[in-house]
Structure 1
Amino acid sequence: MPNQTKWSIDQAHSDITFKIRHLMIAHVKGSFKTFDANIYTYGTDFSTAEIDVWIDAASITTGDDNRDEHLKAMDFLDVVNHKQISFVSSTIGKINEDQKHELWGELTIVGIKQNVKFDVEFGGIMKDPWGNERAGFTVTGKIKRADWGLVWNSNLEAGGIMIGDDINIACEIEVTNVGFKDLKMEVENSAIETV
């Protein structure tokens, strides 16, 4: 059994952003400032990745304090009762004609789990000037906020609604190889403990 590699997110070179329709004519953009993940691969093969991401829901920012407070309130993320947004991967598909992988998993918002798909573009693996092995990805996708019961809205006098249902997600993620976990040794140790 091959070694399993652990990767750590480089916070300084990563971001999780989103945009949503406003007044049906433009977009509001935002991001989450605090997030982390456990990422493991077999060797450096990211098609084998096991991904567990968690986001501090209260770290949402859109550039407007009043709007941010509303997004943190019960109408939306209800951060008092649901402190984290999480994503746990289930499968990663083979590369397609667009040079992207399909990443499937469970996205949990306000305590509700939904199966979602994201597209992942692998940027490659490179050694930085200090000898650290790094990998980069662009992750994109679209979800509907109503799937998590986030249905607050306001009707406009001229017709239509204030904010759309579709949320476009875009992430730039850079990770660093932080070591190996010898699964063979782990299995042997587990077998010894059970004897």
Structure 2
Amino acid sequence: MSATKWSLDPSHSELGFKIKHLMISNVSGKFTKFDVEAETENNDFTLAKLVANIDVASIDTSNEQRDAHLRNADFFSVEAHPTMKFVSTGVEKLDDETYNLYGDLTIKDTTKPVKLSVEHSGVATDPWGNVKAGFSISGKINRKDWGINYNAALETGGVMLGEELKIQGEVQLVKQAS
């Protein structure tokens, strides 16, 4: 078996999230700058080792004022903590296309274990001879586990923001020459 290295194809990848707002709807956002590196045995992702780095300042919710607030100390403290990091700790193959990906997620110097659901769409060669692998990723985390506690009480009861953050991503990796 030989180690195969993979890197992110950023033009065919996205990383997004949703959170409850006013407890009646979801607000969506994304990180426009992130990187993923993986190492596998050939094209077998069952034993994959993966590292993802997310540029927190690249947060984009389609509202500049909200994005600025998310970058400050109430939420991500971007100046002190410019990067979020995910490091895989294990992969559980459920069937030929479905995996659980376990790893440690670090946000604001707090590291906690997470489990993500991964659908592996397959491996294909593009018209230029590049071997690519595609994945859909989803999961849920509680933002308070990472010290992101900001909220506001509503006059009608309840709070402005939910604690649960839904993560969704589409990731395409490119096999690197050995």
Structure 2 length as normaliser, TM-score?
0.98
Name the larger-Rg structure.
1
Give the corresponding residue for 2:126: 128
1:45 aligns with 2:37: no
Alpha-carbon distance between aligned partners in 2 of 1:96 and 1:48, rounded to the nearest angstrom: 14
Over residues 34-83 of structure 1, what are the superposed CA-to-partner deviations in whole Å (9 max), with x where a residue is unaligned? 11122110101011110011010100010001100010000100001001
Q: Does 1:111 align with 2:141?
A: no
The gaps in structure 1 that reach 5 residues or longer are: 181-195
Q: Give the equivalent residue in structure 2 for 1:140.
A: 138
TM-score by length of 1: 0.89
Q: CA deviation at 1:104?
A: 0.4
Aligned partner of residue 175 in structure 1, secondary structure: strand
More strand by share: 2
Residue 99 of structure 2 corresponds to 101
**Amino acid in the other structure paired with 1:132:** N
- The answer to whether the 8 Å contact 1:17/1:32 transfers is yes
Aligned amino acid, residue 22 of structure 2: L
Runs of 4+ in 1 over 4 A off after TM superposition: none
1:133-155 CA-partner distances (Å, limit 9, x unpaired): 11100010000001011111000
Could you tell me how far apart the structure 2 residues matched to 1:3 and 1:96 are?
A: 23
Equivalent residues, number: 178
CA contact (8 A) 1:7 1:176 kept: yes
CA distance in 1, matches of 2:93, 2:28: 31
Amino acid in the other structure paired with 1:127: T
Whether the aligned pair in 2 keeps the contact of 1:125 and 1:134 (CA below 8 Å) is yes
Is 2:79 the counterpart of 1:80?
yes
Please give the secondary structure, in 1, of the residue aligned with 2:68: helix
Is the contact between residue 140 and residue 169 of structure 1 (CA under 8 Å) also seen in structure 2? yes
Identity among equivalent pairs (%):
42
Tell me by how many angstroms 1:96 deviates.
4.7
Report the AA paired with residue 62 of structure 2.
Answer: G
- Counterpart CA distance in 2 for 1:104 and 1:134 is 22
In the aligned structure 2, how far is the partner of 1:54 from the partner of 1:89? 12
Aligned to 2:55: 56
Q: Is the 8 A contact 1:7 1:179 kept in 2?
A: no
Match of 1:69 in 2: 68
Tell me the amino acid that sits aligned with residue 59 of structure 2: I
Root mean square deviation of aligned Cα? 1.1
Q: Partners in 2 of 1:169 and 1:80 — Cα distance?
A: 23
Q: Secondary structure at the match of 2:169?
A: strand
Distance in 2 of aligned mates of 1:144 and 1:48: 27
